[in-house]
């Protein structure tokens, strides 16, 4: 049986939902499933490399955006196999999940992955779609830009990202620009990485209806993809002004 350490919350949940006995370590941010009982190895950006090595993993799973190259280089230098994913679209998410679980972990393709693909294949986005600004942080304000997984998820639900053509993937944009009349007709506020709430976020966009959405369903690629179309659609269709 392979020993696996996951440095990515989404992938931790994916392995735990498929073969939890493989997981021997995960980051402090790996919050799903709630009863996950493995050694914690620090954060995604600052894992305790020595602790990971001490767990004698057969495989460490990581992501090119969430994890730092120097940490992954140090693991490889210690003789640890590291599988690094790249996920910037929904299609990539499905491909990379199969690579992690089947190729990397040696598992059969899980039924939940097929259910997730079917759930998204059934989505019929409304036309014409709404245009949204999608903050992921404040102080300073940062939004979804080009080439992001969350942006692709929203596009499939009929929401066009106002900054999809920006040169950066997560640009810093002054609030005055974000609230320029005509820029967007909706603001989408996920509860991670910044924890936007009804009392923290919508008030900055008084002219726009605000959709408070689950960050796990918007940004995670794993078992949550199965219910994400329904969960996100419900939140987007009930957007309201502050």
Confidence of residue 238 (pLDDT cuts 50, 70, 90): confident
Rounded mean pLDDT of 37-56? Answer: 97
**Per 3-state DSSP, what percentage of the chain is helix, strand, and coil (rounded to 5)?**
35, 20, 45
CB atoms within 10 A of CB 122: 8
How far apart CA 166 and CA 173 sit, in angstroms, is: 11
**Residue 13 sits in the same domain as residue 104:** yes
**Residue 10 sits in the same domain as residue 105:** yes
Counting every residue written for the chain, the total comes to 242
**Residue 102 sits in the same domain as residue 130:** no
User: Does the structure show a pLDDT above 70 at 241?
Assistant: no
Domain range for residue 129? 125-237
**Residue 91 sits in the same domain as residue 129:** no
pLDDT digits (tens, 9 = 90+) for 100-116: 999 999 999 999 999 99
CATH number of residue 93's parent domain: 3.40.50.1980
pLDDT digits (tens, 9 = 90+) for 172-203: 999 999 999 999 999 999 999 999 999 999 99
**Residue 96 sits in the same domain as residue 154:** no
Looking at every residue in the chain, the average pLDDT score rounds to 96
**Residue 86 sits in the same domain as residue 167:** no
Task: Pick the range with the lowest mean pLDDT from 26-30, 69-73, 122-126, 232-236.
Answer: 122-126
Q: At what angle do helices 149-156 and 90-98 cross, to 10 degrees?
A: 120
**Residue 94 sits in the same domain as residue 150:** no
**Could you tell me the two tokens for 163?**
């900054």
**Residue 22 sits in the same domain as residue 73:** yes
**Residue 142 sits in the same domain as residue 229:** yes
Asked if 118 and 29 count as a contact pair (C-beta separation under 8 A), the reply is: no
| Residue 119 counted as domain residue | no
Beta-strand relationship, 186-190 and 159-161: unpaired
Asked if 158 and 188 count as a contact pair (C-beta separation under 8 A), the reply is: no
How far apart CA 105 and CA 108 sit, in angstroms, is: 9
**Could you tell me the two tokens for 65?**
């955006």
**Residue 100 sits in the same domain as residue 196:** no
How far apart CA 27 and CA 182 sit, in angstroms, is: 41
């Amino acid at each position: 049986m392979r020993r696996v350490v996951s440095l990515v919350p989404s992938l931790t949940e994916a392995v735990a939902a498929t073969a939890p006995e493989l997981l021997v370590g995960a980051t402090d941010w790996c919050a799903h499933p709630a009863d996950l009982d493995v050694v914690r190895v620090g954060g995604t950006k600052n894992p305790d490399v020595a602790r990971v090595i001490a767990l004698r993993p057969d495989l460490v799973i990581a992501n090119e955006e969430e994890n730092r190259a120097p940490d992954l280089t140090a693991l490889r230098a210690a003789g640890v196999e590291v599988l690094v994913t790249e996920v910037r679209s929904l299609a990539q998410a499905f491909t990379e999940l199969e690579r992690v679980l089947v190729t990397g972990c040696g598992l059969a393709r899980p039924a939940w992955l097929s259910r997730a693909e079917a759930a998204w294949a059934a989505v019929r986005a409304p036309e014409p779609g709404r245009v949204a600004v999608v903050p992921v942080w404040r102080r300073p304000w940062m939004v979804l830009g080009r080439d992001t997984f969350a942006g692709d998820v929203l596009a499939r639900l009929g929401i066009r990202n106002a900054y999809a053509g920006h040169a950066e993937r997560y640009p810093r944009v002054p609030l005055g620009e974000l609230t320029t009349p005509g820029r967007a007709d909706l603001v989408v506020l996920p509860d991670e990485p910044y924890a936007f709430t009804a009392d923290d976020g919508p008030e900055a966009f008084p002219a726009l209806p605000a959709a408070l959405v689950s960050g796990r369903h918007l940004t995670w690629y794993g078992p949550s993809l199965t219910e994400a179309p329904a969960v996100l659609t419900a939140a987007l269709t009930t957007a309201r002004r502050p």
